[in-house]
Amino acid sequence: MEIEEIGSGFSRQVIAWASAPDVVFKFARWPNFNLSEYCFWQSRKDTEVAAHLAPCVDITADGYVLTMKRTTPLKAAGITLPDWLLLAEPHSRLSRQQVEELGLHYELMPYDIKPENLSIFNGRIVLHDYASSTAPLLFHELSR
Ligand SMILES: Nc1ncnc2c1ncn2[C@@H]1O[C@H](COP(=O)(O)OP(=O)(O)OP(=O)(O)O)[C@@H](O)[C@H]1O
Ligand SMILES: [Mg+2]
């Protein structure tokens, strides 16, 4: 089919379009998650954190549709994850050591790090869902 839903979560439906195979379109139920994801990407795209994020490409002015590079979700890649990641609750409280053991940057500690939000992109583990609008506040709190 030309257009296909390849995933969905609490706040978004993720759509692939055969004519643009390198990207996905995230259709939001509320625009704030897309907007915070896009803003985080814009603020980190020229830093070392960018290598640990699925890149954002574009966003509509109202925030309802975000275009992001298409990645291979970990569940499709068949990667074995450590038991502590599968058991951890809430995921946003992983330690810096655990976050780095996954190959992610410690600045992503307060984000929603769970198997469903991780992918492979350019041979690395990346976060394809970094839309949490509370994460920047938590990072400030955790790094004090
Ligand atoms: N860039 C991407 N490339 C390929 N698949 C993706 C991408 N982003 C998301 N997906 C797929 O779509 C699903 C839902 O996306 P996402 O986690 O961004 O939605 P969400 O509504 O923010 O989720 P949550 O329920 O965690 O809040 C993911 O679990 C993944 O399978
Ligand atoms: Mg998600």
Report the alpha-carbon distance of residue 24 to residue 22 in Å, rounded. 7
Q: Count Cβ atoms within 10 A of the Cβ of residue 72 and give its class: 0-12 exposed, 13-18 middle, 19 or more buried.
A: middle
- Reported as a single tens digit per residue, the pLDDT across 121-142 is 999 999 999 997 666 666 666 6
pTM for this predicted structure: 0.91
The answer, yes or no, to whether any atom of ligand 1 lies below 6 A from the CB of 21, is no
Residue among 58, 42, 60, 59 nearest 50 (CA): 42
Report the alpha-carbon distance of residue 67 to residue 94 in Å, rounded. 28
CA angle 29, 32, 37 (to 5 degrees): 105
Residue among 67, 38, 55 nearest 133 (CA): 38
Residue among 26, 36, 10 nearest 64 (CA): 26
Q: Which ligand is nearest to the CA of 128?
A: 1
Model confidence at 143: pLDDT above 70:
no
Interval between CA 144 and ligand 1 midpoint (Å): 30
To test the pocket of ligand 1, the residue of 34, 35, 41, 117 to mutate (highest count of ligand atoms within 8 Å of its CB) is 117
Other CB atoms within a 10 A radius of the CB of residue 42 amount to 11
Q: Which ligand is nearest to the CA of 8?
A: 1
- Reported as a single tens digit per residue, the pLDDT across 16-37 is 999 999 999 999 999 999 999 9
